[in-house]
Amino acid sequence: MEPLHSFLSAIEDDPRITTAHISVYVSLWKRWKDNGAIGPLSFFRSDLMSLCKISSYNTYHRAIRQLHEYGYIKYVPSYNHCMGSLVYFIENSYWEKA
């Protein structure tokens, strides 16, 4: 199953997920698809924030960090301004067990 469909199915019963989480996840997925849907997605925070329409750094960081903590993505932040952060989309087998 495709990551976006799996995610949307999984969050139906997850009360922790807010519109900010959904916006960040869908924006990540769109960038990943636009880049060929191969391997991890490399991105810069500023590009993603404009796409997901989140203007608060705190809201953005909380949403992406929690998506990682909840097991929906694997987020590898970059602290180098020349290299983008990475996101891996997690297989849905984890969600089916939760």
CATH number of 3-97: 1.10.10.10
Q: Which of 95, 73, 98, 72 is CA-nearest to residue 85?
A: 73
Percentage of the chain beyond pLDDT 70 is 91
Quote the pLDDT of residue 80: 80
Percentage of the chain beyond pLDDT 90 is 63
67-86, pLDDT tens digit by residue?
999 999 999 998 887 888 99
23-35, pLDDT tens digit by residue?
999 999 999 999 8
Mean of the pLDDT values across residues 50-75?
Answer: 95
Mean pLDDT, the chain, integer? 88
Angle between helices 45-52 and 57-69 (to 10 degrees): 100
